[in-house]
Amino acid sequence: MKEPGRYSAVFLTSGSIVSGQAPFDDEVDYYIRILQEVGKHFKTRKFPSQIIGTAFTKNQLQRLYDETGLMSYTADIEVLNEELFNKFCPGKAEWIGYREWKKRLIDAVDVFGPGRVNTGLVAGIELAGPHGFMSEDDALERTLVEAEYLAKQGVSTVFIVWSPRPDTPLGDQKNASLDYYIRLARGLHALRVKYRLPIGFDDYRHCGNHPDSDLSRLLPY
């Protein structure tokens, strides 16, 4: 803990808590209590921090920003395709829905600012049969189109590499090729460059799960 430069951000991740006066209010209250305690150890009102949480409403996001030192926000959509989202993320589809999830990501930019909001993908699952894309070229094109829609409005997209696990419903699936992941990483990085979206709050230094964000070390800002 005393090593200079070893720790540079506070990072919180948890599961969804659907209860409260409005859905997810209790989850927001929980984060606020934690972040307020963490904030007591900083001299500034805001401190380098990130939440990976549910796609909250704009009012809930505003509370998180106003009542804590939180500086950045992530809500993982998992797959950038509405049909596949409904198949692979039934809980998220039931409680929020694909289009509303994207809307809330965009709303978060009004609260935290461009380059302070992102969403994560489980990259490769969009190719899982029988519902996924039939070719890597098609999957890449469709994913990057959706990612650019978000990037235009200040939301970055990052990914982790999907790893099919034995004895799970998709355990017999074959993962995407290395070439696919390289092309996806380059494509997402190009969007961050094009729309000037820094990813410093969730880059290769802060989260080793996202191979595409490693390229952010090359950004000139």
Tokens of 75: 């809500």
CA distance 23 to 13: 18
CA distance 86 to 98: 8
Cβ contacts of 29-34, under 8 Å, gap ≥ 24: 31/64, 31/68, 31/70, 32/63, 32/64, 32/67, 32/68
The pLDDT, as a whole number, for residue 2 is: 76
The pLDDT, as a whole number, for residue 1 is: 65
- Domains of the chain, first to last: 10-218 (3.20.20.70)
The pLDDT, as a whole number, for residue 75 is: 95
The pLDDT, as a whole number, for residue 120 is: 95
The pLDDT, as a whole number, for residue 203 is: 77
- Cβ atoms of 52 and 13 within 8 Å: the answer is yes
The pLDDT, as a whole number, for residue 217 is: 77
The pLDDT, as a whole number, for residue 82 is: 97
The pLDDT, as a whole number, for residue 119 is: 96
Residues of the chain with confidence (pLDDT) below 50: none
What letter would DSSP give residue 175?
P
The pLDDT, as a whole number, for residue 220 is: 65
